[in-house]
Amino acid sequence: MIKKITLVFLLCFSANQLTTAQTYFSDDFSSGDLSLWTLTDSDGDGDNWSIANLEAVQAEHATSASWNSTAGILTPDNWMVSSAIDLTTATGNVFLQWKAYAQDQSWANENYSVYVSTASDIASLSNSSTSFNEVIGATGAYVDRNIDVTSFVGQTIYVAFRHHNVSDQFRINIDDVVVRSVNDDDAELTSINLPRYGLVSTDYPFEITVNNTGGNTISSLDLSWTDGSVTNSATISTNIAGGATATITHPDIVNYSTTVEKTISATITSVNGGVDSNPSNNMQTVFFNTMTQSGTKAVLIEESTGTWCGWCPRGTVGLDYMTSTYPNSVVGIAVHNGDPMTVSEYDTALVNVIGTGWPNAGADRKLVGIDPGQASLQAGYNTQIAEVVPVDITIGAIQTGSNLSITANANFYTSFGAANYRLGVIITEDNVTGTASGYNQTNYYSGGGSGAMGGYENLPESVPAAQMVYNHVGRALLGGFDGQPNSVPTVINGGDIASYTFSYTIPSTSSEADLHIVAVLIDSNDGSIVSAKQSTVAQALSIEEVSGIDSIKLYPNPASDKINIAFSDGNGNYNVTITDMLGRTVIKNNYEGLYGNQNIELPVSQLDAGHYIMNINNGSASYSAKFIINK
């Protein structure tokens, strides 16, 4: 069984925006203690609720464990009972609210209960009819939970959190516990659930997520959405209890027959036929573009690791699994910390995105704080690979000695009036070895006590450098972690190709065959990765060894006026055919008597900007490569 490490998660959560009459109890645990609570370790194992600071966003929180690295498997029955909460002067609707999260999303089936009673003893609390229970599971972020305690108005109450009926998971975390009065009718529009990009002439339901932050059940909403030119309004029947969340679908769909760039806003204009008591949280805005076609999506998985980290073999095994299982749609990078393979700029920047903690991972710098085990990486990949992207990325290169001139290209299928994208390149390396002690891998899976881990269970607790080979190692950031400024124009028309050329010198200690070039398109609005593309140096140079055709190089790529076809050890007659992406032949030439090293300049100025395929055939073998015309 794979065990866990205390991970640090950078988590997204939506806070309830409430106009409150009064707060009767509140603890965000920022005091660093549990002085407002009485703790009881009913199972007697010496492990109880405590304060931790394990997430960069959530900061201090209360936590209880069902497994730890010292004792191993725990079977907790841990109680955390609040001090007296005076509701004797309370009026209106009163709710108990909190946030919950399972610390390790791969071991997230933590069971906990919440009780409310007028007595503080455990027997009375456990028998209370006002309670809440869940096995929280993998939620991806802190989730909001609540209990309606209006029935206790005029009394003094106690609130209890109990972690129980669970073992061998990891931790349940509780934060932002509050008892407060809420307005009667208050709907919060938390999100518009519309994809960022869609296809021309395709129906997209207009859905929103609504959180009932009031006390009354919401039975109807007046909802309107507009793209700036047309406004669609409707009254929608629903049933959302106080504190609950629901998805609402507007009857008017989103569909555009041409490529457009739209700013779409949604507004809840009334609740239950009347005025919403807090209109400040009733509106959301999203961007929506239609495309002529979707691009090819690849998911960038960046894993924080280090040779000093005993749990990091889990990330090594997980990343190897993902890249071998999805070689064309996963780009994996191991970002090292505190060892000889560390690139400080990369390490520091990634930690700022996915949080401190090793091993740790992120997918497209959008899903962050992912445990880098196989299951969690698979879940992150499943989410991100489903994204529709408006671009295809290609890579070209020219080599002079050890110097590479690398061109990253983004071919857009939609238009932007004010784009905020950047291109960047990351260099990775496989088969990295070293002899210094810093290349020894600490291995907590040694001996198998923490379960099988891709063979690491059969290796010593400190694996000697001589036995270690490191793959996917992040070696260089070209253009910086956030991408190269001004590498993509702000105004983009569908069909435009944005290109930027980066320089890299291959170190004398590296083998060109072990290097990979990773091109990324970064959305600078949030720093996320739109898509990624990986190639070997040979692929970027358009060099392939093919039976009967020893070596061919196309350059420059992208081209504008001409493209060079360089033959190494030519051996006869060659037919060169160029087709566009619709399969139409646009150039067809024959070349006879090409022997030895030859270079052909092929004029291409007559071709429109776009992607093309060149096929070279000598009668016994053929070679095909994609290239770009950029004007």
Residues 86-106: pLDDT tens digits? Answer: 999 998 899 999 999 998 877
Share of the chain residues as helix, strand and coil, in percent rounded to the nearest 5: 10, 50, 40
Q: Which helix (H) or strand (E) holds 348?
A: helix 344-354
pLDDT for 622 equals 66
DSSP at 608: P
Q: Which part of the chain has CATH 2.60.120.200?
A: 23-182
Given a contact cutoff of 8 angstroms between Cβ atoms, the answer to whether 122 and 39 are in contact is no
- For range 153-173, the mean pLDDT: 96
526 pLDDT higher than 70: yes
Q: Is the peptide bond before 558 cis (omega within 30 degrees of 0)?
A: yes
- pLDDT value for 58: 52
Strand blocks (E) in 464-514: 473-478, 497-505
pTM of the model: 0.68
pLDDT for 483 beyond 80? yes
pLDDT at 19 over 70: no
| 5: confidence class by pLDDT, cuts 50, 70, 90 | very low
pLDDT at 393: 93
Kindly tell me the burial class for residue 319, based on how many C-beta atoms sit within 10 Å of its own C-beta (0-12, 13-18, 19 or more).
buried
Q: Locate tokens 């994204």: which residue?
A: 387
Strands annotated E in 227-296: 231-240, 245-254, 261-271, 283-291
Measured in whole angstroms, the distance separating CA 572 from the mean position of its chain's CA atoms is 51
Average pLDDT of the residues of the chain: 89
The boundaries of every CATH 2.60.40.10 domain in the chain are 187-291, 299-537
The CATH number of 23-182 is 2.60.120.200
Mean pLDDT over 452-464 rounds to 96
Question: Residue 103, exposed/middle/buried by CB under 10 A (0-12, 13-18, 19+)?
Answer: buried
C-alpha–C-alpha distance, residues 137 and 234, integer Å: 36
Instruction: Give the integer Cα–Cα distance in Å for 517 and 452.
Output: 32
Return the pLDDT at 265.
Answer: 98
Strands 197-199, 283-291: pairing is parallel
Residue 47 in this model has a pLDDT that exceeds 80:
yes
Mean pLDDT, residues 31-39: 95
Q: Which helix (H) or strand (E) holds 302?
A: strand 299-305
At 238, which amino acid appears? T
Looking at the DSSP assignment, which residues form a beta bridge with residue 498?
A: 410
Contact 305/315 with Cβ under 8 angstroms? yes
Residue 331 CB contacts under 8 Å (≥ 6 apart), including other chains = 298, 299, 300, 301, 323, 518, 532, 533, 534
In this predicted structure, the answer to whether residue 7 has a pLDDT above a threshold of 60 is: no
Cβ count near 598 (within 10 Å): 15
pLDDT over threshold 90, residue 6: no
| Domain 544-629 part of CATH 3.30.565.10 | no
Distance CA 119, CA 177 (A): 19
Q: How confident is the model at residue 21 (pLDDT cuts 50, 70, 90)?
A: low
Tell me the average pLDDT across 279-290: 94
Longest dimension (CA), the chain: 100
- DSSP class of 226: E
Tokens 């191991």 belong to which residue?
334
Confidence of residue 551 (pLDDT cuts 50, 70, 90): low
Mean pLDDT of 591-605: 85
Quote the crossing angle between the two packed helices 374-385 and 313-325, to the nearest 10°.
Answer: 40
pLDDT confidence bin for 570, thresholds 50/70/90: low
The answer to whether 93 touches 150, Cβ cutoff 8 Å, is: yes
CATH topology of domain 187-291: Immunoglobulin-like (2.60.40)
> What pLDDT is recorded for position 621?
66
Tokens of 390: 């408006």
- pLDDT at residue 296 greater than cutoff 50: yes
- Please say if the pLDDT value at position 3 is more than 50: no
Average pLDDT over residues 27-47: 95
- We find that the CATH architecture of domain 299-537 is Sandwich (2.60)
Q: How many residues are given for the chain? A: 631
Residues in CB range of 535: below 8 A, 6 or more apart: 395, 516, 517
Q: Which residue type does 160 have? A: A
Reported as a pLDDT band with limits 50, 70 and 90, residue 191 is: very high
- pLDDT bin (cut points 50, 70, 90) of residue 616 is confident
Mean pLDDT calculated for residue range 343-354: 96
**What is the predicted pLDDT for the residue at 595?**
77
Q: In the chain, what percentage of residues exceed pLDDT 90?
A: 67
Distance between CA 502 and CA 499 in Å, rounded?
Answer: 10
Output 34-37 pairs: Cβ under 8 A, ≥24 positions apart. 34/62, 34/80, 36/82, 36/83, 37/62, 37/80, 37/81, 37/82, 37/83
Rg of the Cα trace of the chain?
29
pLDDT given for residue 52 in this prediction? 87
pLDDT reported for residue 546: 35
Mean pLDDT of 498-524: 95
Distance between CA atoms of residues 576 and 562, nearest Å: 14
At 123 the three-state DSSP class reads helix
First-to-last alpha carbon distance for the chain, in angstroms, is: 56
CB-CB neighbours of 69 under 10 Å = 14
DSSP, collapsed to helix, strand or coil, labels residue 513 as helix
Q: 311, 444 in Cβ contact below 8 A? A: yes
Buried b / exposed e along 371-409 (16+ C-beta atoms within 10 A)? bbbbebbebbbeebeebebbbbbbbbbbbeeeebbbbbb
- 10 Å CB burial of residue 508 (0-12, 13-18, 19+) is exposed
The per-residue pLDDT for 54 is 57
